[in-house]
Chain A
Amino acid sequence: MESRPLDNIPLSSSTLSLLLKNGFSTVDDVINLRPSELAGELQIEPSEALDILSIIKKFSLGTIRQTQTQPQTQSFTIPASNDRITVQTAWEVIQEYDSLPTIPTLCEPLDDLLRRGIPVGSITEFCGSPGSGKTQMCIQLCLSVQLPASLFGPNSEAVYIDTEGSFMPDRAAMMAESLSTHIPQAPTVQEFLTRIHVYRPHSHTTLLATVRNLPTFLEQHPHVHLIVIDSISAPLRHQFEDGISTRNLIITEIASALNSIAKMNKIAVVCTNQLTTKPPKSQPQSEPQQEAQLLPALGDVWTQHVTHRIVLRMALQKQTLQPIRIATVLKSPVALSTTSTPFTITADGIRSSSSQTADPTDLDEQNEWEVE
Chain B
Amino acid sequence: MASRQLRRIRSFSDLQLQRLSNAQILTVERFLTTPYDLLMRLLDVDFLTINNLLNELSAMATPTPKTAWNLLQLQNPIPFNIPILDSHLHGGLQAGTITEIVGESSSGKTILCLQLILQSSLLPEHGGFGLSSLFIDAESSFSPRLLLSLASARISPQTVGASENENDVNDTVLQSLMSRVHVMKVSGLSDLARWAQTTLEDQIIEKKIRIVVIDSIAAIVNQSFPSGTSLIDRQHMLSSTTAQLKRAAELFGLAVVITNTAFSSSSHSPTPSLHQDSSLFLPSSTLSLPMPPPSPFTFPSTLSPRLGLLWHHSVNTRLVLVNSLPGTISNIRDRSDDNNEPLNVKLLAITKSPVTAPLAVLVQVDGTGIHQFGSGEEEDFDTS
Give chain A's interface residues, CB within 8 Å of chain B.
10-15, 51, 55, 58-59, 129-131, 135-136, 142, 159-160, 164-174, 190, 192-206, 208-210, 212-213, 216-217, 231, 234-235, 237-239, 242, 246, 249-250, 274-277, 279, 291-292, 294, 313-316, 321-323, 345, 347, 366-367
Contacts and interface: CB of A to CB of B under 8 A. Distances in A.
Given A12-B40, A130-B313, A234-B313, 13 more contacts: A129-B309, A159-B65, A165-B98, A165-B250, A169-B69, A202-B247, A205-B32, A208-B32, A209-B32, A213-B58, A249-B35, A294-B290, A367-B289
B53 to A, nearest CB: 11
Nearest to A344: B357
B289 to A, nearest CB: 6
A166 B354 CA distance: 7
A202 B3 CA distance: 13
Interface string B91-109: 1001011100000000000
Contacts of B310: 237, 274, 276
Interface string B351-369: 1111101100000000000
A323 B293 contact: yes
B237 interface: yes
B292 A212 contact: no
Contacts of B69: 169, 190, 193-194, 196
Given A55-B47, A213-B62, A235-B243, A169 B68 contact: yes
A275 B292 contact: no
Contacts of B309: 129-130, 274-277, 294
A51 to B, nearest CB: 8
8 contacts: A11-B46, A168-B355, A171-B354, A199-B62, A213-B59, A275-B313, A366-B289, A366-B292
B66 A198 contact: yes
A208 B33 contact: yes
B44 interface: yes
Given A129-B291, A164-B316, A197-B66, A294 B354 contact: no
B332 to A, nearest CB: 24
Given A129-B290, A237-B310, A366-B289, A321 B383 contact: yes
Given A136-B354, A277-B282, A209 B289 contact: no
A212 B54 contact: yes
B75 interface: yes
A201 B246 CA distance: 10
Interface of B: 2, 28-29, 32-33, 35, 40-41, 43-49, 54-55, 57-63, 65-69, 71-72, 75, 90-91, 94, 96-98, 233, 236-237, 239-240, 243, 246-247, 249-250, 282-283, 285-286, 289-296, 308-310, 312-316, 318, 351-355, 357-358, 383
A174 B355 CA distance: 9
Nearest to B29: A205
A131 B317 CA distance: 9
A239 B68 contact: no
Which 4 A-B pairs have CB atoms at the shortest separation, nearest pair first? A10-B47, A129-B290, A209-B61, A212-B58
B236 A238 contact: yes
Nearest to A237: B239
Contact of B240 (A55, A172, A239): A239
A168 B33 contact: no
Given A14-B44, A200-B250, A238-B243, A205 B2 contact: yes
Contacts of B96: 165
Contacts of A234: 243, 313-314
A169 B290 contact: no
A130 B71 contact: no
A197 B313 contact: no
B283 to A, nearest CB: 6
A170 B72 contact: yes
Contacts of A206: 2, 61-63
Given A171-B354, A314-B294, A366-B292, A166 B44 contact: no
Contacts of A274: 309-310, 313
A315 B292 contact: yes
B33 A205 contact: yes
Nearest to A201: B63
Nearest to B311: A130
Given A168-B355, A246-B33, A323-B292, A209 B243 contact: no
Contacts of A275: 290, 309, 313
B327 to A, nearest CB: 16
B104 to A, nearest CB: 20
Contacts of B65: 159, 197-199, 217
A277 B308 contact: yes
Nearest to B60: A209
Given A167-B68, A275-B309, A239 B236 contact: yes
Contacts of B351: 131
Nearest to A324: B292
Contacts of A196: 67-69
B283 A292 contact: yes
A217 B383 CA distance: 51
Contact of B68 (A194, A250, A345): A194
A153 B282 CA distance: 49
A174 B32 CA distance: 38
Contacts of B239: 237-238
A135 B237 CA distance: 25
Contacts of A322: 296
- The residue among A12, A135, A159, A279 with the most chain B CB atoms within 10 A of its own CB is A12
A208 B30 CA distance: 12
Nearest to B292: A314
A180 B68 CA distance: 16
B352 A131 contact: yes
A194 B91 CA distance: 22
A12 B46 contact: yes
Nearest to B247: A202
B32 A160 contact: no
Contacts of B94: 168, 170
Nearest to B73: A169
Nearest to B35: A249
Given A12-B46, A168-B94, A316-B293, A198 B314 contact: no
Contacts of B357: 345, 347
Contacts of A170: 72, 75, 90-91, 94, 355
